[in-house]
Amino acid sequence: MRPLTDEETKTMFEKLSKYIGENIKLLVDRPDGVYCFRLHNDRVYYMSEKILKLATNVARDKLVSVGTCFGKFTKTGKFRLHITALDFLAPYAKFKVWVKPGTEQSFLYGNHVLKSGLGRITENTNQYQGVVVYSMADVPLGFGVAAKTTQECRRMDPMSIVVFHQADVGEFIRNEDTLT
Amino acid sequence: MGRKLDPTNQVKKGPGRKSRKQKGAETELSKFITAEESEPKRRTSRARKRAVKRAHDPKKTKDLPEPTPLKGFTDENKDWLKPAKRKRKIDTPESEDDSDEMWEQEEEEEDEVEKVGTKQGKKAVAAKIAQKEEEDDEEDDMVDDYGAAEESSGEEAEGGSDEEELLPIERAAKKEKKIKEAMGIGSDDDDDSEDEEAVKRDDEDADEEDAIQTNIEEMDKFRLPGEEELAKESVIPLDLQSIHHRIKENVDVLTHFAAKREEGKGRGEYISLLRSDLCTYYSYNDFLMEKLMDIFPVSELIDFLEANEIQRPVTIRTNTLKTRRRDLAQALINRGVNLDPLGKWSKVGLVIFDSSVPIGATPEYLAGHYMLQGASSLLPVMALSPQEGECVLDMSSAPGGKTTYIAQLMRNTGTIVANDANAERLKSVVGNIHRLGVTNAVICNYDGRQFPKVMGGFDRVLLDAPCSGTGVIAKDPAVKTSKDEADILRAAHLQKELLLSAIDSVNADSATGGYLIYCTCSIMVEENEWVVDYALKKRNVKLVPAGLDFGTEGFTRFQERRFHPSLRLTRRFYPHSHNMDGFFVAKLKKFSNSVPATEMEQDEDKTETSESVAVAGSPNQKPSKNKTSKIPEKAAVSPKGQTNGAGAKKPPNIQAKGQKVQPTGPKKAKMAKMDVKNVNEGEANASESCKTEGSRFEKKHEKNRKSPMKKKNRLGKNKFNKLKKVLQKEWNGD
């Protein structure tokens, strides 16, 4: 376990800012203690200082997970967000998409969101903007990338994709083995 | 293109191979089922025929009660089956007839024949009573119930489908009414008891009347099968129905042993028969059944075994980190789930009765609003009652149900260390912890036994020890046959090791905590009370009330074993009495961080005792004395008391990391104390430590000496010579 290098921090923050914008600083400066990012096994974990101290007791090969896993660095140096980060993305998300109850299940199985399943969408969403997907009952279901702007969404045919799927909470079951 | 159209490679349309196969099986099954179902139909048609005959000739049918009970008769048998003397009814059909159920009850036949004599006496009495009423037909109802049962069933068939749907108890009531009518209102009390018997018999199983018929003869008094019968049984095993019946009878005898026992037969014989019957009926292995019989009284045992055959209700726990129980219940009800609160004792549990959607894959589940968790696994966490801001260790955490419950009770404050020895199972812990939004957990993959070395000083520790799983037989029926003595003892050994290291990881000086929960999903005494009792002897811990207001108390005595009286503070949960998995929960409080000297050391350091008594007398030691007096065992052994005192005197400098409990702790503490005490004792201590060293050397020597001694079979040269001398002496003496 080690702190992130500048390069890594930059890559990761760029990625995060696509979803939560300048709210990143709320993640780092928290009123309830010092929180930090640490890299372990190519994965980035977000934890409080207290847990960090405790985790230093554990040998590297015996440590499985600390705090919350945000995502991992691929072999090519890109950062990929995991669904486990949803707990921290959802409250700070700038752009949101709500899906209709019928589409929930389809999205949770890893499909894109079609226009027909789109319940609501934040105004002024740009194309390729990172969005968090909610159910109509305001339960966060995952996140993705807007395929079209809000304006375009209004006059599209029902079967076209409006949100590209990136991660959904169904992965807790589907990809349980690769979460860490 | 052309290749794609190749007719030989054509893809078949319609349902695949597998589905067709299943269909085939289905049709086969349906054939099988119809074959079985046709049986009662046949009977009813015959009954109908009989009814027609009766309608033609009412007088004659009244003389025709006997053929009804045995179903295998054809019309050819009719003439001899119409007995002139009704009193021979049992002998004749059984000795001559080879109807289709005869082969089923070969074993019991012998009993029955023997019993006919007594039966007939009784029958004669019954017949007399009946003659008073001049009702030939109803006589059978009194003598033997099944005639009536057949009769009524026949009538029901005539009556139509709605009558056939009568519950057994209703049918019994009806029959009782009929008998009363026949007997007149002033019927005497001995037939009353028979009525009761009739009701009981009907309750057993109305559908399988055949099987009941076979058992009726031995109804009055249960007797143990003789040797030849047992031998026969070993060749042709009894059918389950009669075994079930025999179990019932046997239990009845065992519960009223003095009144119902057979002369000259001991309880042991009944018990061993019961055990073998239970093993066959519920398919357990002998070992486990014996263990269970030791734990439960006979009547409770049957309940337990029956409870193991049915699944426990599905329960879920609300994740209060993300939602409230009311909201969750509403959301699930909207999805078509039928649920109810778990019970008064839990504010987060819900019971699922039935559901139109898979309960483990709803969007609410995936969003982490609840966790599928057995009711029993809520209990240890409730007993642990972790406080906010504490540092808690869950020693064997997979799959994370209890861990997340701990986090939820702590509201994501403090820290949780979730450990498990199995890396594969830890993946589910990671998944669940992230899904439920727990952010304060460290997940690591150590063997629990290494634990105080990795980190110690926890405020609370939860040890859900690996066990034989005898409490969750309903979940995993393989346990019934796969466990033996060695498995249990192996588990117990591991549990003892884990419990000691768990105790060592607790920080006794914690302001809020210092508690430890030990729980297993086993009901074996070896894995529960025995392990806790062992820990009480080995470490400075005491049992405290678990804070669970239900559950049965733990054993303080079991067979030849006597446990510490405080073990009644532990709690046991059983599937049959609490409708949750079998479980054991013990809450321990650690009152000193020092580790008492092991017994071996104590034996060696006998000289220490006098000195330690002197030390205990000093005013410094008073608190320690109080502490030790709480546990009488500990107080009895003075060196332990001394170590306790040392522990109390030690400044509370134990930190979250790297608190090491050295095996030499007491000795070090002693040395520290000696600085305060006078020099004389210091000298004594020095000399004593020398002694201990000496003794250690001695031990080594002993070891060296021992190792050749192990080869007892080989005679040494000296021994051989000695033996030779002795023999020679003997020869001379002779």
Question: What ipTM goes with this model?
Answer: 0.96
Q: Of B74-83, B242-251, B438-447, B579-588, give the lowest mean pLDDT range.
A: B74-83
**Residue among A64, A169, A176 whose CB faces B443 most closely:** A64
Q: In A, which residues are within 8 Å of B357 by CB distance?
A: none
Q: In A, which residues are within 8 Å of B440 by CB distance?
A: 48, 51, 67
Higher pLDDT, B312 or B616: B312
Average pLDDT along chain B:
71
- Contact criterion met (CB < 8 Å) for B442 and A51: yes
Provide the β-strand partners of residue B349: B317
Q: In B, which residues are within 8 Å of A56 by CB distance?
A: 657
**B199-234 core/surface letters (b: 16 or more CB in 10 A; e: else):** bebbebebeebbbbbbbbbbbeebebbeeebeebbe
Mutate to test the interface with B, among A139, A168, A174 (most CBs of B within 10 A): A139
Residue range B600-608: average pLDDT?
A: 51
**Residue among A64, A87, A105 whose CB faces B437 most closely:** A87
Residue range B100-118: average pLDDT?
A: 46
* pLDDT classification of B264: cutoffs 50, 70, 90: confident
- Contact criterion met (CB < 8 Å) for A54 and B431: no
Q: Of A147-161, B82-96, B365-379, B592-606, give the lowest mean pLDDT range.
A: B82-96
* pLDDT classification of B266: cutoffs 50, 70, 90: confident
Q: In B, which residues are within 8 Å of A139 by CB distance?
A: 363-364, 367, 369
One-character DSSP codes across B433-449: HHHTT--SEEEE---GG
Higher pLDDT, B677 or B46: B46
pLDDT tens-digit profile of B665-699?
444 444 444 444 444 444 444 444 444 444 444 44
- Contact criterion met (CB < 8 Å) for B444 and A47: no
CA–CA distance, B551 with B574 (Å, rounded to integer): 8
Q: What is the pLDDT of residue B259?
A: 85
**Residue among B331, B415, B442 whose CB faces A58 most closely:** B442
Domain regions of chain A by residue span: 2-88, 93-174
Q: In B, which residues are within 8 Å of A179 by CB distance?
A: 427, 430-431, 434
Q: Residue B516 pLDDT more than 70? A: yes
Q: Of A76-80, B481-485, B611-615, give the lowest mean pLDDT range.
A: B611-615
Angle between helices B485-505 and B529-538 (to 10 degrees): 40
**Residue among B331, B363, B454 whose CB faces A57 most closely:** B454
* pLDDT classification of A51: cutoffs 50, 70, 90: very high
pLDDT tens-digit profile of B350-388?
999 999 999 998 999 999 999 999 999 999 999 999 999
Q: In A, which residues are within 8 Å of B442 by CB distance?
A: 51, 54-55, 58, 63, 65-67
Q: Of A77-86, B261-270, B283-292, B328-337, give the lowest mean pLDDT range.
A: B261-270
Higher pLDDT, B195 or A148: A148
- Please report, as a single letter, which amino acid is at residue B396: S
Q: Residue B320 pLDDT more than 50? A: yes
Between chain A and chain B, the number of residue pairs with CB atoms below 8 A apart is: 107
CA–CA distance, B75 with B93 (Å, rounded to integer): 15
Q: What is the pLDDT of residue B142?
A: 44
- Contact criterion met (CB < 8 Å) for B434 and A56: no
CA–CA distance, B204 with B210 (Å, rounded to integer): 12
Q: What is the pLDDT of residue B658?
A: 40
CA–CA distance, B655 with B632 (Å, rounded to integer): 30
CA–CA distance, A24 with A13 (Å, rounded to integer): 8
- Only one residue has tokens 């398919």, namely B283
CA–CA distance, B700 with B705 (Å, rounded to integer): 8
CA–CA distance, A55 with A63 (Å, rounded to integer): 8
| CA closest to A142 among chain B residues | B367
**Residue among A137, A140, A179 whose CB faces B431 most closely:** A179
Mutate to test the interface with A, among B435, B505, B654 (most CBs of A within 10 A): B435
Q: What is the pLDDT of residue B105?
A: 45
Q: What is the pLDDT of residue B722?
A: 75
Q: Residue B702 pLDDT more than 90? A: no
Q: Which amino acids of B are annotated catalytic?
A: 521
Hey, which CATH number is domain A2-88, 3.30.420.40, 3.40.250.10, 3.10.310.10, 3.10.450.220? Answer: 3.10.450.220
pTM, to two decimals: 0.64
Q: In A, which residues are within 8 Å of B433 by CB distance?
A: 65
Say if residues B702 and B709 touch (Cβ distance below 8 Å): no
Higher pLDDT, B610 or B335: B335
Q: Residue B729 pLDDT more than 60? A: yes
Residue range B559-568: average pLDDT?
A: 90
**Residue among A63, A68, A108 whose CB faces B434 most closely:** A68
Measured distance between the N- and C-terminal CA atoms of chain B, rounded to whole angstroms = 110
pLDDT tens-digit profile of B393-417?
999 998 899 999 999 999 999 999 9
Q: What is the pLDDT of residue A7?
A: 93
In B408-556, at which residue ranges do the beta strands (DSSP E only) sit? 415-419, 441-444, 460-464, 515-520, 541-544, 552-553
Chain B: give the shortest CA distance to residue A108, in Å: 8
Q: Of A33-42, B349-358, B510-519, B623-632, give the lowest mean pLDDT range.
A: B623-632
Q: Is the peptide bond before B399 cis (omega within 30 degrees of 0)?
A: yes
Chain A residues whose C-beta is within 8 A of a chain B C-beta are: 46-48, 50-51, 53-59, 62-69, 83-84, 87, 104-105, 108, 135, 137, 139-141, 168-170, 172-173, 176-177, 179-180
CA–CA distance, B149 with B203 (Å, rounded to integer): 12
* CATH entry 2.30.130.10 includes domain A93-174: yes
CA–CA distance, A109 with B198 (Å, rounded to integer): 59
Chain B: give the shortest CA distance to residue A68, in Å: 6
| CA closest to B416 among chain A residues | A51
If we measure between CA atoms, which residue out of B579, B584, B587 comes closest to residue B375? B579
Q: Residue B322 pLDDT more than 80? A: yes
**Residue among B423, B430, B658 whose CB faces A179 most closely:** B430
CA–CA distance, A37 with B157 (Å, rounded to integer): 78
* pLDDT classification of B11: cutoffs 50, 70, 90: low
Residue range A23-36: average pLDDT?
A: 89
Q: What is the pLDDT of residue B432?
A: 93
Q: In A, which residues are within 8 Å of B444 by CB distance?
A: 58, 62-64
* pLDDT classification of A3: cutoffs 50, 70, 90: very high
- Would you state the structure tokens that stand for residue B357, as one six-digit string? 């959607």
- Contact criterion met (CB < 8 Å) for B442 and A169: no
- Contact criterion met (CB < 8 Å) for A57 and B367: no
- Contact criterion met (CB < 8 Å) for A179 and B433: no
Chain A: give the shortest CA distance to residue B597, in Å: 28
In B501-652, at which residue ranges do the beta strands (DSSP E only) sit? 515-520, 541-544, 552-553, 557-558, 561-562, 571-573, 583-590
- Contact criterion met (CB < 8 Å) for A67 and B435: no
- Contact criterion met (CB < 8 Å) for A104 and B363: yes
pLDDT tens-digit profile of A129-139?
999 999 999 99
Q: In B, which residues are within 8 Å of A99 by CB distance?
A: none
- Contact criterion met (CB < 8 Å) for B444 and A48: no
- Contact criterion met (CB < 8 Å) for B435 and A48: no
Q: Residue B255 pLDDT more than 50? A: yes
CA–CA distance, B597 with B539 (Å, rounded to integer): 9
Backbone angle region of A113, left / alpha / beta, with phi > 0 → left and psi within -120 to 50 → alpha: beta
Q: What is the pLDDT of residue A1?
A: 87
- Contact criterion met (CB < 8 Å) for B442 and A55: yes
CA–CA distance, B105 with B51 (Å, rounded to integer): 29
Average pLDDT along chain A:
92
- Contact criterion met (CB < 8 Å) for B363 and A51: no
**Residue among A84, A108, A180 whose CB faces B366 most closely:** A108
CA–CA distance, B353 with B324 (Å, rounded to integer): 20
- Contact criterion met (CB < 8 Å) for B434 and A179: yes
If we measure between CA atoms, which residue out of B618, B558, B102 comes closest to residue B296? B558
- Contact criterion met (CB < 8 Å) for A58 and B434: no
